Structure formats: C-alpha cells, structure tokens
C-alpha cells in the first residue's frame, strides 16, 4: 500500500501527526484510522465474494486485479494464443530506421549535383540552415499560431 513512501517521508508524517494531534490524542487517532481501514478492507472483500458468487462457476478463476489495464495487457502478451510474440519479435524498430536512413543517404548521394555540373556550392546540394531566408513579402512563420 505504501510502496513509494520513503523513510524520510514517513518520519515527516509522524512528526506532522504529533504536531497536529498532540502526543496524548495520537494513539486514539491511530486506532480509529486502523479500525476504519480494517472495515473498508472487510467491506471490499465481502463485495468481491458477492460478485464472484453472482458471476457463477464459469468465472471461478476471475481476479479483480485483471481489470487493471497493465495487468490485462501483460497477461495477454504472455498468452501466445494470439501470436503477439511473433508480431512483437518481427518488428525491429532499429532495423527499420537503419534501412530508412540508408535509403535517404543513398538518395541524397545519387541526386546531389556534383561541383563540375554547376552545383550550388561546396555544401553538396544541402540547404544551409544557418542563413536567414530571403524576404519574399510573406510574414514570418509563427509556431505559436499553428
């Protein structure tokens, strides 16, 4: 329940509780909180048992944790009836990106004009992004407006 509460945070909560409730009322407050948590757990377990009994025998293996989307997806990925492992293993993003990069570089090398043919300069046909664009009467591009 408190998996992400560290020791420093726990000490801070204890000091804060002592300051708010005082050392004489703190044990009574802790007992009341524990009693309330116990009642909530009992109510929750009772509700789960009622739901299981109403669903019938075909849902005897039903777990409420399966309703969590992460748990559901993890169980479905572990279940190989759908062939999801083949799809996941067959798709290699790094390989696909390397192929696309190679194709783009090959295209750039093939289509770039050479300096002997009157190319635009030593940049090899590439656009120099450090130069300011020439004014052509249009207003400048506003990234916030789009």
Same domain, 43 and 58: yes
Query: Does residue 123 register a pLDDT over 60?
Result: no
Residue 144 lies in a domain: no
In a shared domain, residues 25 and 55: yes
pLDDT for res 119: 47
If asked whether residues 44 and 13 sit together in one domain, one would say yes
Query: Domain count of the chain?
Result: 2
For residues 44 and 36, what is the distance between their CA atoms, to the nearest angstrom? 12
- Give the 3-state secondary structure of residue 30: helix
Answer yes or no: do 57 and 80 share one domain. Answer: no
58/81 same-domain check: no
Q: Are residues 53 and 73 in the same domain?
A: no
Binned at pLDDT 50, 70 and 90, residue 133 comes out as: low
The pair of structure tokens assigned to 142 is: 């506003």
Percentage of the chain surpassing pLDDT 90?
A: 19
Helix H, strand E, coil C: the string for 114-142 is: CHHHCCCCCCCCCCCCCCCCCCCCCCCCC
48 and 84 co-located in one domain:
no
Type and span of the H or E element at 63: none
The whole domain housing 71 covers: 66-110
Cα 11 vs. chain centroid, distance in angstroms? Answer: 31
**How far are the Cα atoms of 2, 7, 23, 32, 115 from residue 19, in angstroms, in the given order?**
22, 18, 8, 18, 80
User: Does residue 41 or residue 124 have the better pLDDT?
Assistant: 41
Do 19 and 5 reside in the same domain of the chain? yes
pTM: 0.41
16-29 pLDDT, tens digit per residue, is 988 998 889 989 99
Residue 101 lies in a domain: yes
What crossing angle do the helices spanning 7-21 and 26-55 adopt, rounded to 10°?
A: 120
- Rounded to whole angstroms, the Cα distance separating 102 from 96 reads 10
Give the span between the Cα atoms of 64 and 56, in whole angstroms.
15
- Looking at the chain, the whole-number percentage of residues with pLDDT higher than 70 is 66
Statement to judge: residues 46 and 86 lie in one domain? no
66-87 per-position pLDDT tens digit: 778 888 777 777 665 556 666 6
Q: Is residue 135 part of a domain?
A: no
Q: Which residue has the higher pLDDT, 4 or 134?
A: 4
């Amino acid at each position: 329940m408190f998996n992400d509460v560290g020791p420093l945070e726990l000490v801070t909560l204890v000091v804060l509780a002592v300051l708010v409730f005082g050392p004489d009322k703190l044990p009574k407050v802790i007992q009341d909180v524990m009693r309330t948590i116990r009642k909530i757990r009992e109510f929750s377990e009772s509700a789960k048992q009622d739901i299981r009994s109403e669903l019938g025998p075909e849902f005897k293996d039903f777990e409420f944790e399966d309703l969590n989307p992460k748990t559901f997806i993890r169980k479905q990925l572990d279940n190989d009836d759908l062939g999801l492992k083949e799809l996941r293993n067959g798709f290699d993003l790094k390989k696909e990106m390397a192929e696309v990069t190679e194709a783009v570089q090959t295209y750039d090398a093939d289509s770039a004009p050479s300096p002997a043919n009157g190319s635009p300069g030593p940049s090899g046909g590439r656009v120099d992004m450090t130069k300011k664009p020439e004014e052509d009467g249009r207003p400048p591009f506003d990234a916030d407006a789009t």
